[in-house]
């Protein structure tokens, strides 16, 4: 069920990006202050297998991909989309319809044409693909 909320602006007073962690991500530390200026947005909850995402009402990852693919530098290119959750299924269908490569990571029913068994396999596949592209350039 969609709800309408105020999305308040903030001013970043400081941002620190830490070193690379063993999981491949960085620690982030930020200090910010909200201000009275805000947009009014309509949002809804989209449930996944182990997540609930708050997203703009009437939008999904498929619509976001369609919008990206109309803009530079994406227009005219082949979309590649990897995902591991129910929230990615709209994106898989759109990418397949556009003649791209939709890749499900992990188990479960999916609309994606391709599958990789786990996040480690996805990372290896991406590394190999980037190496091939770099050699072709």
pLDDT in tens, 55-93: 888 889 999 999 999 999 999 999 999 999 988 999 999
Residues 19 and 81 in one domain: no
Residues 29 and 68 in one domain: no
Residues 31 and 80 in one domain: no
pLDDT of residue 5: 86
Residues 103 and 43 in one domain: no
Residues 55 and 71 in one domain: no
Residues 82 and 98 in one domain: yes
Tally the domains of the chain. 2
Residues 112 and 49 in one domain: no
Global pTM exceeds 0.85: no
pLDDT of residue 79: 97
Let me know how long the chain is. 137
Hey, is 88 helix, strand or coil?
Answer: helix
pLDDT of residue 82: 97
Residues 130 and 78 in one domain: yes
pLDDT of residue 49: 81
Residues 4 and 55 in one domain: yes
pLDDT of residue 68: 95
Give the residue, 41 or 114, on which the prediction is more confident.
114
The average pLDDT across 98-121 equals 97
Residues 68 and 133 in one domain: yes
The pLDDT of residue 1 is above 90: no
Q: 95: pLDDT confidence band, cut at 50, 70 and 90?
A: very high
Residues 87 and 126 in one domain: yes
Among the listed residues 79, 103, 88, 32, the one whose alpha carbon sits nearest the alpha carbon of residue 55: 88
Domain that holds residue 29: 1-59
Residue 99, by phi and psi: left (phi above 0), alpha (psi -120 to 50) or beta? left
Residues 67 and 134 in one domain: yes
The pLDDT of residue 53 is above 90: no
């Amino acid at each position: 069920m969609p709800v309408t909320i105020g999305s308040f602006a903030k001013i970043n007073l400081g941002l620190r990006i830490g070193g690379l962690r063993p999981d491949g991500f960085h620690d982030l530390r930020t200090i910010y202050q909200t201000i009275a200026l805000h947009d009014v947005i309509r949002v809804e909850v989209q449930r996944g297998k182990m997540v609930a995402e708050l997203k703009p009402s009437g939008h999904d990852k498929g619509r976001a991909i369609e919008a990206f693919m109309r803009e530079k530098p994406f227009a005219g290119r082949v979309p590649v989309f990897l995902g591991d959750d129910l929230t990615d299924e709209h994106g898989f269908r759109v990418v397949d319809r556009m003649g791209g490569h939709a890749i499900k990571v992990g188990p479960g029913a999916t609309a994606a044409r391709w599958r990789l068994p786990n996040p480690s396999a996805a990372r290896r596949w991406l590394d190999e693909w980037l190496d091939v592209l770099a050699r072709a350039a």
